[in-house]
Structure 1
Amino acid sequence: MARQPRYLWLADQLRGPILNGEMPPGTRLPSRTRLARSYRVSEQISRTALRLLVTEGLVESRPGSGYFVRAVPEVFRICRTDSSSGSGLGRLSREEIGTEQEQCSPPLSSRLRLREGDPVYRTTSRGLSSRTPITLHLSWEPAVLTAGTLRAPFDGAHDAGLLERLSAVGHPVDRVVEEVRVRALRDSEASLLGSAPGIPVLVVERTHYSGSRPVETSDLIGSVEQCRLLYKLTLARPRRPGDPRRY
């Protein structure tokens, strides 16, 4: 069996006490030099081991201060099978930021099957926990669907919800498609979430259809550390002998 690299061995020596609580959140780890002396390794190995623990999210580096054990972030489970087909924020409170009209641009034009430059309504909101932003929700819908009616997203009927608004103007939603991916947080999103640009985030792309036509699409964005997506699937029960047939 190949010998384990020394930096992995050293990371194991530090990871154990962190995970079992011997080194609680906020504990300052020994410096690279002290680790190298204590474990008889080079400073390059101790530096690499510490960076690995930072990558794993167990340790954070504070410039000028050293390395510290990170607090375990609170996790929020976001249900994606809510009955109203809304954003599914769970126990997060919703904060509406506003709705604006803008021109459709790629890749949004592909998602909504619109031409570049077509007007769309963009609605921005956040999911909060004790006033702290956890998720960001951006949704877009073709302006042509509700323009000139009282069912546009910025009208009073907005309180009725997406499905009711679109159904009232002749576009009942009968299908929802979601795609989940991970990407880096963008600058414009980071300012709304109070986070640093570039951190990995979960993005749930949800599109509502009326027949074959996409009538709204949205991005639900949240930190991969704090957000979990909860899906509940109902399966058809197998027919048992003696059960009545359904036609």
Structure 2
Amino acid sequence: MPSQDPPYLRIADHLRRRVTAGEWAVGERLPSRARLAESYGVGPNVLQRAQEVLIAEGLLEGRTGSGTYVREPVPRLPLLRSRTPGDFPGEPAPDGEWESETGALTPAPEAVARRLRIDPGDLTVHTRYEFKLDHKVLQLADSWEPMAITGGTPATLPRYGPWHRRSVVERMARIGVRVVRALERPRPARATPEQAALLGLSTGDVLTVVERTYLDDSGRPVETADLVIPDSRWEICYELVLAEAE
């Protein structure tokens, strides 16, 4: 019985088998899109969609102005998400390697305001983080904190002050705000040109964006962040504690 899959998926499956069989070596450029499309008897757009499937899987990579290549295999590492704040991406550890850029008096965009339960345009502190290992950027994060909570305190600017390399939880605790839980919403996304350049990816590569919001003991959101995690490098795992160890 003929396959009922769309043509681009059938071509993606055939290309996948050709790549894994070693028809093209790691780092080798595939034939041009026009040539491959002609060999499969389809238009360039169908062939492009097939290649995009394999790019999303991490089997191929597209290089702007150069073509499509067999990607070097990169092992996916487990990224544990637990209830311990120090385990969360977007939480700089004191001895971790990271860079950040902070802007105070930043009006909250509508989506951020909704997550923080404030009015659009209310002032926030916006911080962008780059988390590194061996000087390579592995993850990104954008964080927003309402200035109504931290304004006028030493915790206002995450990059400066006495607690400038501390987590959100620690900094909030120093001003009497007790953070007790985090709400997370993972969603798939594609790397923008800026994200791809920072992370060493190709534009359009698959990402996981974790929308994380910290809440205090009254249920008030005190910080929200978008954690940008390359899907090809990290396998997100959640640890759910069902009972305390005896």
Deviates more, 1:6-15 or 1:155-164: 6-15
Give how far 1:151 is off.
2.4
1:162 is matched with which residue? 168
| Corresponding letter in the other structure for 2:2 | A
| Corresponding letter in the other structure for 1:218 | A
Give how far 1:117 is off.
2.3
Using the alignment, how far apart are the partners of 1:116 and 1:188 within structure 2?
25
1:126-176 Cα offsets, whole Å, 9 max, x none, are 122322222101111111222222222231213343212212222101111
Q: Does 1:81 align with 2:82?
A: yes
| Corresponding letter in the other structure for 1:16 | R
1:215 is matched with which residue? 222
| Corresponding letter in the other structure for 1:233 | L
Give the aligned CA root-mean-square deviation in angstroms.
3.6
2:99 is matched with which residue? 96
- Identical aligned pairs, as a percentage? 32
| Corresponding letter in the other structure for 1:77 | P
Q: Secondary structure at the match of 2:16?
A: helix
Using the alignment, how far apart are the partners of 2:135 and 2:187 within structure 1?
26
Contact map agreement 2:90 2:129 (CA 8 A) in 1? no
| Corresponding letter in the other structure for 1:111 | R
1:130 is matched with which residue? 134
Using the alignment, how far apart are the partners of 1:75 and 1:49 within structure 2?
27
Q: How many residues align?
A: 233
Using the alignment, how far apart are the partners of 1:32 and 1:181 within structure 2?
30
Pairing 1:1-247 to 2, within 5 Å after superposition: 1-2=1-2, 12=13, 14-21=15-22, 23-29=24-30, 43-44=41-42, 48=46, 52-57=50-55, 58-60=59-61, 67-81=68-82, 83-85=84-86, 87-88=88-89, 93-101=96-104, 102-152=106-156, 153=158, 154-186=160-192, 189-190=195-196, 192-193=198-199, 195=201, 198-210=204-216, 211-236=218-243
| Corresponding letter in the other structure for 1:129 | L
Q: Which has the larger radius of gyration?
A: 1
Q: Secondary structure at the match of 2:172?
A: helix
Q: Secondary structure at the match of 1:2?
A: coil
Q: Secondary structure at the match of 1:117?
A: coil
Give how far 1:30 is off.
5.3
1:240 is matched with which residue? none
1:80-139 Cα offsets, whole Å, 9 max, x none, are 21523563379x953122221111121111111112222211122112232222210111
Structure 1 alignment gaps of length 5 or more: 238-247
Contact map agreement 1:7 1:46 (CA 8 A) in 2? no
Contact map agreement 2:139 2:229 (CA 8 A) in 1? yes
Provide closer, same or farther for how the CA distance between residues 11 and 172 of structure 1 changes in structure 2, counting only shifts above 3 A. Answer: closer
Contact map agreement 1:7 1:45 (CA 8 A) in 2? no
Deviates more, 1:179-188 or 1:225-234: 179-188
Contact map agreement 2:126 2:145 (CA 8 A) in 1? yes
Give how far 1:205 is off.
0.8
Give how far 1:197 is off.
5.0
Report the TM-score when normalising by structure 2.
0.75
Contact map agreement 2:179 2:215 (CA 8 A) in 1? yes
Contact map agreement 1:100 1:122 (CA 8 A) in 2? yes
Where relative contact order (Cα < 8 A, 6+ residues apart) is larger, the structure is 2
